[in-house]
Chains A and B, each alone.
Chain A
Amino acid sequence: RKEVEQDPGPFNVPEGATVAFNCTYSNSASQSFFWYRQDCRKEPKLLMSVYSSGNEDGRFTAQLNRASQYISLLIRDSKLSDSATYLCVVNGRYSTLTFGKGTMLLVSP
């Protein structure tokens, strides 16, 4: 099983749609979870951390299910500017981060 697994997509959605991404991780000892966003040929940027109780930041909601080792990201009211690759990231040993391959989102007018 891969350390962090995501559906690569692409997810093609119209503006205003709600879209959800899922991610599974293999290391049950992981303590920190994040969603990063990466635009084409750019560095990743932190979108939000994921907390056990679930958390929301504007149109973005992240949830964590430790029992199933599963993380999700929900984007409501999609904007054109949301088009990017969304990376599920889990902490590894010694402060390192393990990245999933990413899920590509394409929002069309």
Chain B
Amino acid sequence: GAVVSQHPSRVICKSGTSVKIECRSLDFQATTMFWYRQFPKKSLMLMATSNEGSKATYEQGVEKDKFLINHASLTLSTLTVTSAHPEDSSFYICSATPSSGRSGDEQFFGPGTRLTVL
């Protein structure tokens, strides 16, 4: 089956620092990857759609200068939380759609990254 990895799985950092999270599709190519955020007892909220070789599409209310997304290859997307603050503490999850898949189907999720900003 399709496997998506994320690194790191958990990170604790001081307020004001930047944190980079990697999302990799291990056995398939993904033209499109998605970044979600989930606060405790809340639903997954789509932050942005990451397209290989082009700029990410951000959802309303998500600051593109704060959450930098780079999708430099068909198997890797990175999310950088710049100048992180305690309110950015959350569970960040990426997903990927195989390039050969039908639109809207089969998003495979990474295991998530739990970010805690002190």
Give chain A's interface residues, CB within 8 Å of chain B.
4, 31-32, 41-46, 49, 87, 91-92, 94-102
Query: Quick one: given A94-B57, A97-B46, A102-B43, are A43 and B34 in contact (CB under 8 Å)?
Result: no
Q: B93 touching A43 by the CB < 8 A rule? A: yes
The docked-state distance in angstroms from the alpha carbon of A29 to that of B45 is 20
- Identify 30 residue pairs between A and B in the complex whose beta-carbon atoms are under 8 Å apart, listed by A's number: A31-B104, A32-B104, A32-B105, A41-B91, A42-B111, A42-B112, A43-B93, A43-B109, A43-B111, A43-B112, A44-B44, A44-B109, A45-B109, A46-B107, A87-B43, A87-B44, A91-B104, A92-B46, A94-B49, A95-B104, A96-B34, A96-B49, A97-B46, A97-B95, A97-B107, A99-B43, A100-B43, A101-B42, A101-B43, A102-B43
Q: A95 touching B97 by the CB < 8 A rule? A: yes
User: Which residues of B have CB within 8 Å of A95?
Assistant: 32, 49, 97, 103-104
Interface size class of B (residues with CB under 8 A): 20 to 34
Q: Does B106 contact A (CB under 8 A)?
A: yes
User: Which residues of B have CB within 8 Å of A32?
Assistant: 104-105
* Least CB separation from B91: chain A residue: A41
Q: A96 touching B46 by the CB < 8 A rule? A: yes
* Least CB separation from A2: chain B residue: B43
